[in-house]
Amino acid sequence: MRKFIKATATLAALALAGCATVPPQLAGQNFSAITPQQATQRNAHGERVRWGGSIIAVEPQSDKTCFEILSRELFADARPRPRSPSSGRFIACSKGFYDPELYKKHRDITVTGTLAGTQKHPVGGYDYTYALVDADNVYLWPLRERRDGDYAWPYYYDPFWGPWGPYWGGWWSPPVVIVRPPPRH
């Protein structure tokens, strides 16, 4: 039985790994493992990074567009993990015009580029120091599709709680609960 479980888990992992296709403009292995917070502390310059997260703001300028981004860890396909811890904010600027109506707040974005130091901007009353990326690629991810049942996401894919599990009328019958009266003395 253990061999069967190991084989099934291995096959599932291989199948999922095959689904992790990095968009061509974001592909590559020569990216620094530095986080935005570490880049800010070191005032890093010249390192190649692939960072992503949620758009906070977009500011088109005369020759470039700058994105303020709340960083997130990336999946294997380079898409930001929506609920992962953040390692700070960063600003990525890229040549050209990117329409703020398309690059809206809270959308997932991944950029590749070179670290170009830091910039200070206020966040509320706080003077925040951002890592600055001179972006050569900006990738706006498609919106995540929402399906019925996503409201219970952590339980939706669980074999006991999901739509196929016992509590949703799936392939198992509901559990039998036996209540015995307390013993008489």
Q: What is the set of domains in the chain, with CATH numbers?
A: 21-140 (2.40.50.140)
Please tell me the number of Cα atoms within 13 Å of 166 on its side-chain side.
6
From CA 73, how far away is CA 88, in angstroms rounded? 11
Count other Cβ atoms within 10 Å, centred on residue 34.
Answer: 19
Neighbours of 16 (CB within 10 A): 10
Pairing mode, strands 89-95 and 126-140: parallel
- pLDDT score of 12: 55
- The arithmetic mean of pLDDT across residues 135-159, rounded, is 70
pTM over 0.75: no
Q: Is 135 exposed, middle or buried (0-12, 13-18, 19+ CB in 10 A)?
A: buried
Q: Is the pLDDT of residue 7 over 70?
A: no
Is the pLDDT confidence value at 50 over 60?
A: yes
Residue 146: which pLDDT band, with cuts at 50, 70 and 90?
A: low
